[in-house]
Chain A
Amino acid sequence: DAGVIQSPRHEVTEMGQEVTLRCKPISGHNSLFWYRQTMMRGLELLIYFNNNVPIDDSGMPEDRFSAKMPNASFSTLKIQPSEPRDSAVYFCASSLGRARLSETQYFGPGTRLLVL
């Protein structure tokens, strides 16, 4: 299996622009997670989906952030408009989503976002 695929790997944009990050989970995985990693705040869960339905979006910073999962093999995280403080590494992860406490999450390589 190819693992979790994220694109782009790097993104540099200017403040105010729209940014779209993409994720393809591992085939057969039913849960998908979006994380943000910064030096100051560490690894934060932004939102997660189960069977394409958003279950918990309490970590989404503000209305500028939105996430969708139109089907089992694709998800997007959008920031509109972007701000310099959004600069971070964004990770997507997936798991089998069998509602087990011991479920392993598999992480993608991340998208390094820089907003100028």
Chain B
Amino acid sequence: AQSVTQLGSHVSVSEGALVLLRCNYSSSVPPYLFWYVQYPNQGLQLLLKYTSAATLVKGINGFEAEFKKSETSFHLTKPSAHMSDAAEYFCAVTLGTDKLIFGTGTRLQVFP
């Protein structure tokens, strides 16, 4: 059965520091993986997705994620955090042809 695990419910970084949000997946078939971001009082919006075309996926707002099959991971990174990156980030894996299974989320705080 497909699932995702996000390590760390809260991550704090200083402005300008590297952002690393962890996601590990479990899937019995080649997975399709997503990162969504949720800003306060808003819905989720897609940051990036892995569809097997390339293992390094670039998304919006300078974020990227690398699919590592050997580690069953799809960690999200950004070289330099900005105050506007403060939000909750969700990793998700496709279940079937339409459904997504979301992780529990990681709240990112950025300090000046």
A residues near B (Cβ < 8 Å) are 4, 31, 42-43, 45, 48, 50, 55-56, 91, 93, 95, 97, 99-110
Contacts and interface: CB of A to CB of B under 8 A. Distances in A.
Given A91-B43, A100-B97, A102-B49, 4 more contacts: A102-B32, A102-B51, A107-B43, A110-B41
Interface stretch (B10-18, B65-73, B78-86, B100-108): B100-108
> A43, A102, A107, A109 — which one has the most chain B CB atoms within 10 A of its CB?
A43
Interface size class of B (residues with CB under 8 A): 20 to 34
Given A42-B102, A104-B49, A99 B97 contact: yes
A95 B44 CA distance: 13
A103 B33 CA distance: 10
Interface string B73-101: 00000000000000000100010011110
23 contacts: A42-B102, A42-B104, A43-B90, A45-B100, A50-B98, A55-B98, A56-B99, A91-B43, A93-B44, A97-B98, A99-B98, A101-B51, A101-B94, A102-B32, A102-B51, A102-B94, A103-B94, A103-B97, A105-B100, A106-B46, A107-B43, A108-B43, A109-B41
